[in-house]
Structures are given as C-alpha cells and as structure tokens.
Amino acid sequence: MTSVRHSVRAILFDGDDVVLFRRVRAGREPYWITPGGGVEPTDTSPEAALRRELDEELGATAGPVLQVFTLVEPGRLSTVFACRLVSLDLSRRSGPEFLEPDIGLHEVRRVRPEEVRALNMVPPELGEFISANAATLPALLDAATYAPGRYRPVVDVHLLLIDGGAPVHSGVSTGGARVLLGRRQGTGYADGEWQIMPSGHLEEGESVVDTAVREAREELGIEVDGCEVVHVMHHRNAGGTARIGMFLVPRSITGIPVNAEPHKCAELAWFRLDRLPERTVPYARAGVEAVRRALASRPPGLPAAVGTAAVVSGPPVFSLHGWDVPGSADLASEAVRAGFEEVTVCLVALLDGAVLVHSDDETDRLPATVVRPGEGVQAALARLAPVEEVAFAGADDYVSPLGRIGRRLAFSARPAEAPEGLVPLPAGSLGRLPYAEGVFVRHASSGLLHGLSSR
C-alpha cells in the first residue's frame, strides 16, 4: 500500500494581504509557497500541526482557523486553513529549513490575494484557489471571528425577578426587595460568579419579550407575563467586545423558580437589590443597580414587587457601561473571567512621534511578552521597557503554538528614551508591522493617549 504524506497549509491573512514565502534556490526559478508543512506524529490534530508550523517558520501566532480546502496530490494530502495573523517574530522561528543555508531563502512577502494566481505558486492549484476566493475567504473569517466587518452586536436579555420588600413610591428606597441570581458553572465565562436569572441571548426571529419568556421557562421552569423593558445598557467588557443588554421585569409569574439547568447554574439565591454578593458579574451588578434606581423613582401607585411584579411605565432608561478606558487590573480580571489560558502584553512606545519596534531584515514588531504565572500586567510591561504611565490601546485574541487560548493586551506609553533593542520607525509610518499591530498603533495615535502627559 502506498503511504500518503499529510501536510497542512495556511492562507495567512495580514489585513487585506496574504503572507507568502518567495523561495529562492540555486539552479531553480524562484517560486512561491504558503506557510505550512508536514503533520508530525506528535501533533494532536491538523490545526495543532498548522500552529506549530506557523511558529517554526514565522514565529507567528494566529487567531481562529477555518478549514477551507483539501488538495490531493500523488502521495500527499494537504489540508488548507484560512486564518488571520496576530503576531510575527522572525527571531523565534526554528524550522530546520531556516537553519540550513543550502536549502535556500524563504523571503517573507505580503501579496494581494487576487494577484496570487499570477505568481509561480507551488502547487498552482492553491494559488488559483486563493485568487478565485479573494473576497470570499476574508468574509468567512469576518463571520467566524472578531475581524473587521459589519458590526453584529450580541443582544442580552435579562429578566429580573424581584421578590418582597416595602412598597416602592417616588423617591423611596426599595427597602428589603430581593432579586434572584444564579451562580454560574460550566459555561466557560465568569464561572463561580453570580448572574441575573434568567438571562440569555436574543435569537433570530424573537422579540426581546419572547426571549425573556423562553429563558424563564428554560432556566427556571416558570411562566411570566407582561414583561416590560426597564433599562437598556450598551456594555463593553474590558478588552473584549461590546453588547446590548435589555433588562426587563414581569408583571406576573406562574410557578416557583427552580434550577432547571444545573449544568450551567450551581445554585439559585435571593439577594437584596442593594446588597449583591461580592462575586457578581460587573455587567449584571450595573444592570441590577440601574433597575433598582428605576423602580425607586417610578410614580406612586404602581405595584411594588414582582409576583406582585414591579413595572415601570414610560420609555426605558439608557446607560453606558464599560466604555471608559479600562485599567490593567480590570483587563486582567476580565481575561480570567473569560477563561483565557494566557495573557500577552505588548507595548506601543512613542518617542518624538515615532513608534519604537524590534526590527530585522524582513519585518518589524512591537515588543511583547507573555504574563508569567502570578505576575501582574504592570510587572510584565516593566520587563519590556521602563515606563511609568500607560494607556490601554486595544486587545485581540489568539491561539498559541501549544494550543493555549490567549488574549493580547496592548498599551501605549511615552518613554523618555528608546529602550535597548528598540528602534524608531519613520515618523507617521507603520513600517512592516503586522496589520493587527498597526491597528494598536492607530488607536494609540488617535486619542487613547489622552491620559498620558506630554514630554
């Protein structure tokens, strides 16, 4: 039986371009290939092989990958993935092809995908596929990741069940009124913290009220009626994505709440509106407080408590939450809450209007390091450069070569002088930075340094 060699290839997008190697070897016309290589026995999956190859060949990390193409050749089966470049550090590459001069050169090039078919690609079928799908592949990645594209916010629906307490009139405290919360477990986000129960995401074809009714039935085994929106919040997680939160109260409840989804909720408990547990999801805490204020200020004569449910007439109140520039402690806490296995920090250091970078013959990169176990974000930044004031400049997510899901946090600073090993790019230039790092620089240059003093 003829053995078949399995390999993986990456259509690696850096902004609107794809990253290719231009191969130069003695006695042969230059040709072009995508990053990738053979699947090794130690690789746990084709994706693991791909991430190993990206690290070995480019010192690169990438975001989520999509399998888009399978190429069958005599004796070889190649699985092709599309992904977006997060970081690139050629000083880290370690593949044997870069350690043996006789193999020739691997020149890193960025090429528009529609132009790839005109190159001497090996294999040519892959070059044709890239060009033929020049618009489709980025759109697929946009739909599957947080890459730039049409904005599609998540809509959260929170139904507050409020029990007991003194009657509420205009300007009077809600007294001992309590709200039902659930302690999260097994969800991958904020496990061990308390959240409003019931809560869920708006689904296609549902109204906000439909979602509240469905979630009450699924999560608590109760029927609710007369749900009204009390508050609307535009929330953003520190270093993460934004979402719209709709906070409702019902006019009536049928049944007794039970924990109908114990695989997601460890326990249910009632807490006073003004005395929530310490480990309450910050977003939920802000929503409960907004609803508490709305109920306390409603006109006299409205019913006070749900079950006997509190209902507010008039238009919902709107608020923003999480839109201030977050501090390093908030960012680190949110990364833990979201279940990231590691955090990387990178520094956008601006000196006399120029960005300081590590630079080599083919690429530039921002200084970056993985936060060590037990180390704070500020301490990790101090290992990159002696800076005092920093401002958050953006975040993105990645998967490490070892398969660890990570979040990268970028910070801006104005050092007094260039730290050792860093050189300035021409003023106003992004040089050869990966696209994602250029986004951080643009954010830092367009206003997120407002908290730093000029020097």
Contact (CB, 8 A) for 237 and 190: no
Can you say whether the dihedral through the CA atoms of 354, 360, 363, 369 is positive or negative?
negative
**Residue 42 clears pLDDT 50, i.e. is over it:** yes
Q: CA-to-CA distance for 442 and 452, rounded, in angstroms?
A: 16
| Pairwise pLDDT comparison (249 vs 169), residue with the higher score | 249
Please check whether residue 266 is in contact with residue 145, taking contact to mean a CB–CB distance below 8 angstroms.
no
Please measure the distance between the N-terminal and C-terminal CA atoms of the chain and give it in whole angstroms. 71
d(CA 372, CA 400): 15
The CA distance from 55 to 403, in Å, is 11
Output b/e per residue, 50-69; b: 16+ Cβ within 10 A. bbbbbbbbbbbbbbbbbebb
Residue 121 has pLDDT above 80, yes or no: yes
Amino acid found at 219? E
pLDDT in tens, 201-215: 999 889 999 999 999
Asked if 335 contacts 239 with a C-beta cutoff of 8 angstroms, the reply is yes
Q: Residue 414: which H helix or E strand, with range?
A: none
Condensed to tens digits (0 to 9), the pLDDT of residues 123-165 reads: 999 999 999 999 999 988 877 764 445 567 899 999 999 986 4
pLDDT band at 99 (very low <50, low <70, confident <90, very high): low
| Contact predicate 208/246, CB 8 Å | yes
Separation between Cα atoms, residue 125 and residue 376, nearest integer Å: 48
Q: What pLDDT, in 10s, does the model give residues 263-299?
A: 999 999 999 999 999 999 999 999 999 999 988 876 5
Helix (H) or strand (E) holding 197: none
Residue 188 has pLDDT above 70, yes or no: yes
- The token pair that represents 164 in the structure block: 């007991």
Q: What is the reported pLDDT for 164?
A: 62
How much is the mean pLDDT over the chain? 88
3-state helix, strand, coil in the chain (%, to 5): 25, 35, 45
Per-residue tokens: 126:
């892959």
What pLDDT is attached to residue 98?
67
This prediction's pTM: 0.80
Residue 68 has pLDDT above 80, yes or no: yes
> Closest Cα to residue 444, out of 365, 347, 371?
347
Alpha-carbon gap, residue 298 to 340, rounded angstroms: 42
Q: What is the pLDDT of residues 405-416, one digit of tens each?
A: 999 999 999 998
Q: Is the peptide bond before 138 cis (omega within 30 degrees of 0)?
A: no
d(CA 90, CA 84): 17
Sign of torsion, CA 192 195 201 206? positive
- Say what the pLDDT of residue 450 is: 36
